[in-house]
Amino acid sequence: MATLSRDEIFKLAALARLAISDDEATEFEGEINEILQFVEQLQSVDVSEFEPTSQVTGLTNVSRDDAVIDYGYTADDLLKNVPAVENHQIKVQRMVG
């Protein structure tokens, strides 16, 4: 049976960048060990007759392939229609003061 010691609780808290007191470590030790016991119980269930399930809706991937469409315009052609251009980019007024 997997259990965590008090020192391991402090190490886990340090890895998570949490500062915990001795009382909290005692409380978490009990709670985490209960969770680990439950996980062990779940791992003992025989699921060999079931197929792995990644999703249950029956939907398939409906996204399309990316395709480059050439409309016959260059970036310079499009930038001719804007009021101000700087370094081949649209120049706008400053928004943040």
91 in Cβ contact with 85 (< 8 Å): yes
Q: Which pLDDT tens digit goes with each residue over 10-60? A: 999 999 999 999 999 999 999 999 999 999 999 999 999 988 887 788 777
Domain 6-43 has CATH 1.10.287: no
Report CA Rg, the chain: 29
- Can you give the pLDDT at residue 1? 64
pTM score, whole prediction: 0.49
Map out the domains of the chain as residue ranges.
6-43
- pLDDT top residue among 53 and 68: 68
